[in-house]
Amino acid sequence: AEYYVELNTMSRRPEVIYAEPNILGKLFTDPNDPHFSKQWAMKNEGTAAQGGGTNDSDIDAEEAWEITTGSSAINIAIVDAGMQTNHQDFTGRVIGDIGDNHYHGTAVAGIAAAQGNNSVGVAGVAWNVGIINEDLGAITIVNATNAIQSAINRNAHVINNSYGFDQINNSFTLYRAFTDAYKMNLTTVAAMGNDGNDLYPQSPANFGRIVIAVGATKNTDSRKANSSTGPHIDVVAPGGSGKDFPDEENIFTTLPGDSYDNKTFIDGKWEPISGTSFSTPVVSGISALLLSFNPSLYNDDIRQIIRISAEDKGPSGFDNEYGEGRVNARAALDSIRSPNQLNHWFSTGGTVVSSLWNNYQEFYGLPGLGDGTYIVERHEVEKTVSFPSSFSSTPHVWGRGVASNGYSKADPNFTMGYCEVVPGTITNTSVRLRTYVYDIYIEDPVDGFPDYWDTYPCDPGQVVFAYTALGTFPPLAVSISGPLFLDFKETGYYTVNVTGGNGSIGYQWKIKNDGSSIWSNLGISQSQQVTMGTTSFTMKVEVTRGSESDFETKYVQYNSGGFNPKILLLPQSYSLSQNHPNPFNPTTTIKYELPEASSISLVIYDLRGNEVTRWTMGNERAGYKRKTWNGTDTNGNRVPAGVYIYKLTARSMESDQIFTNSRKMVLMK
């Protein structure tokens, strides 16, 4: 807080045009992995080595690595048919099942997490994260279910699933494993499949909001022809073309035997490293980067951040082929960096807006009751919440099921927490949220009629809505209201008014008597009272809100009593103050003081000496004056950003004395 206050203090000094922090920069270089030039998914330059694709049809990985290359505290579980755990690009970072030489898992792991900048092989999306090998062996429902449970137990944060089962084989057993992962706040990523249509949706990709479903694109950003489609798709990511030749269009990654290629020889023929199996670990890697940058993110946050930061491809907006678009690692990270702010907020208690007698509904995991079908009445519970701080514009808002305690209206219902935004209700100040609770009835064994048992998961008044809001806030600004003059022993009451910023607010009032250079601390609440002694004083309040700080001062003059306070308040000399704020956009205030009636002019010049605008006020009475400039010239046109000079000329009406002074100010873009 002291740092920001000091920065603001420096900015307001007359001799300082502007002040800003000294930020540490980075060199923009490619990682030194010898095959990086072939990894068009990371950095697509459209070269022959990359199959002649389209420049920048990539995930902006190099730009993302300027922010983070991944944290060893984050683990990606590779649920696959096995992998070479001691591959030279995974050294010291793999735990879990014993390794083998299956190409599929090795290739997937390399895309997500091969060590970058180690002078070996390739660079994965998240270089430094831990890898958990979950070997499926045969790809069966039971083995996949066990692997998901094992990944949970081995402290996975992201689970990659580059496999699938036909929808006709949808399994409650596997779905329950994924709901367990969701309830544990894990991010699960799943391949859409390679059927090229939406006729045969694959699970787990079709498990809905609890997974991120990923399709595949080529090095031209067009959809890979056999990448499956459907309304359950979230995003697409680079997955290769599927061509045997030129194989440069496919995904270059790690392969068994400490080798690297974009194809593998299996079952007597060359198979391209291509398909949604290999686009999925791209998204798993981005998920790990997000968690490395901000470990407090929820799984719902990661899914939504990846969706909203994707580059729109195909038809405008969401579509069944590209979802929200092709993922972008740098954009995902930038979306949660300054000036954007991601906020986790909660609200308790809602109102029932509608009820539906559902008759019978399946439940799995009801506390105190067995899994099965129950007679229910479902209640839709809603609440409009006002954001603790108003956003500059309409933010992105979504519910966080893990931290909410209402249920969804799904049948069967797996009792996962649920909170959603009512469509069309987001403004920069509020949003309306929705969830569901259920009255459970059990058939009386004597009379056969249903008897009310309990409301699950809680009564409407106890519902917890957990939601995330992502956007920008107006800059923090403060002002003090209170009297400008006080009689001897009179008490003045002052309040600081705060606008903009975000987060909890801290106050520190200070006082300095005339003739003293020492500030003394007063109170730390929003309001402050001060009793006048025998000398005038200056009050200051320093306000911190979140990561921002600002301050305001007020000069309070001593009134000896019985005299006209207006006379006592007259300035003792001519003065031109530094404009405030400075730098500014779009308006700033220029203050000046006249000890006696004067004829004045105030002119603004650019650095070449050209007149921009002029105020010729003629004769003005003595007193404290101010003018506001909105960054326009004499004709009302906006002027460009830059440094400007403002000059005050005042001629006394009594003594003919001439006062002139000028200062610099900075108009920001």
- Catalytic annotation, residues: 80, 104, 277
Enumerate residues 6+ apart whose C-beta is below 8 A from 316: none
Calculate the alpha carbon distances from 547 to 76, 340, 544 in Å: 32, 12, 7
The distance of Cα 521 from the centroid of its chain, to the nearest Å, equals 36
Torsion of CA 314, 315, 319, 320, to 10 degrees: -60
The residue written with tokens 């997974």 in the block is 211
Enumerate residues 6+ apart whose C-beta is below 8 A from 327: 59, 235, 236, 237, 282, 283, 286, 306, 309, 310, 311
Rounded-to-integer distance, Cα 94 and Cα 526, Å:
54
Mark 604-633 as b/e (b = at least 16 C-beta within 10 Å). Answer: bbeeeeeebbeeeeeeeebeebebebebee
Closest CA to 112 of 53, 172, 187, 185: 187
Closest CA to 500 of 542, 548, 467: 548
519-523, long-range: CB within 8 Å, 24+ apart, which pairs?
A: none
Sign for the pseudo-dihedral over CA of 306, 310, 316, 321: negative
Rounded-to-integer distance, Cα 656 and Cα 666, Å:
33
Task: Report the DSSP pairing between strands 505-513 and 520-521.
Answer: antiparallel
* Helix 103-113, helix 276-293: angle, nearest 10: 40
- Decide: 296 and 136 in contact? Cβ < 8 Å: no
Rounded-to-integer distance, Cα 330 and Cα 61, Å:
7
The helix (run of H) or strand (run of E) holding residue 497 is strand 491-499
Q: What is the DSSP letter of 319?
A: B
Calculate the alpha carbon distances from 67 to 26, 70, 330, 422 in Å: 10, 9, 8, 34
Rounded-to-integer distance, Cα 330 and Cα 316, Å:
21
Burial of residue 487, with CB atoms counted within 10 A of its CB: 0-12 exposed, 13-18 middle, 19 or more buried: middle
Rounded-to-integer distance, Cα 558 and Cα 522, Å:
19
